[in-house]
């Protein structure tokens, strides 16, 4: 029994360590600075892998689809996840798939993904439950959401800014979005 408890403790310790390596961008327009001092701007909710923690900064990496100076979640280009400044050098380039590496301030990162979308979720429930129950956001893929939202934003009488805000929430939390859920 004692042996089992020790094994479980080690296993749990190992699991928390593994999951701690994925963090989410917690502030919109967060700067990532690469080793040449060039900056990329990262949008809210983007998952990044931790390479090294250094005092107030964390060295992180992630992969994106590049078009011009814009970074997208995939080649579908439905969800923009950030942009790069002129002359930004990538850690790796394979066609239009690029890997970025650089420093992000620790205070702009979180492990708790639900925290990232709290405000948007509240707005979603407020706007999208007037006529029907709240749809399960992760039951639709990004392209489905883009199509459905075209009708629903009119139904909910959202202005341009509110639409962009809510659509970003829906796309990021879609079944093929940025949030890695086990369902």
Residues 105-134 touching ligand HEC, rule: CB under 6 A, are 127-128, 130-132
Using DSSP's 3-state secondary structure scheme, residue 41 falls into strand
Size of the site for ligand HEC (CB under 6 A): 13
Q: Does 135 bind ligand HEC (CB under 6 A)?
A: yes
Does 159 bind ligand HEC (CB under 6 A)? Our answer is no
The only residue of 56, 151, 159, 161 in contact with ligand HEC, by rule CB under 6 A: 151
- Rank residues 81 and 128 by Cβ distance to ligand HEC and give the closer one: 128
Give the rounded distance of the alpha carbon of 80 from its chain centre: 10
What is the contact mask toward ligand HEC in residues 63 to 102, using x (rule: CB under 6 A)?
A: ----------------------------------------
Which of 35, 51, 39, 50 is CA-nearest to residue 91? 35
CA–CA dist 13, 50 (Å, integer): 17
Residue 148, CA distances (Å) to 144, 145, 154 in order: 6, 5, 11
Query: Of 104 and 152, which CB lies nearer to ligand HEC in the complex structure?
Result: 152
Beta bridge partners of 71: 66, 82
Helix, strand or coil, per DSSP, at residue 46: coil
For ligand HEC, the binding residues (CB under 6 A) are: 127-128, 130-132, 135, 148, 151-153, 155-156, 166
């Amino acid at each position: 029994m004692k042996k089992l408890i020790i094994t479980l403790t080690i296993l749990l310790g190992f699991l928390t360590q593994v999951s701690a390596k994925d963090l989410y961008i917690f502030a919109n327009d967060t700067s990532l600075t690469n080793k040449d001092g060039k900056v990329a701007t990262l949008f809210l909710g983007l998952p990044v892998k931790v390479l090294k923690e250094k005092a107030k900064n964390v060295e992180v990496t992630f992969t994106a689809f590049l078009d011009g100076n814009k970074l997208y979640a995939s080649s579908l280009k439905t969800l923009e996840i950030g942009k790069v400044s002129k002359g930004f050098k990538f850690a790796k380039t394979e066609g239009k798939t690029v890997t970025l590496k650089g420093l992000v301030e620790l205070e702009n990162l979180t492990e708790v993904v639900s925290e990232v979308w709290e405000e948007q979720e509240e707005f979603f429930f407020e706007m999208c439950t007037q006529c029907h129950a709240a749809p399960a956001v992760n039951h639709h893929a990004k392209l489905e959401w883009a199509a459905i939202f075209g009708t629903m934003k009119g139904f909910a009488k959202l202005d341009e800014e509110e639409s962009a805000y809510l659509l970003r929430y829906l796309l990021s939390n879609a079944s093929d979005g940025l949030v890695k859920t086990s369902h």
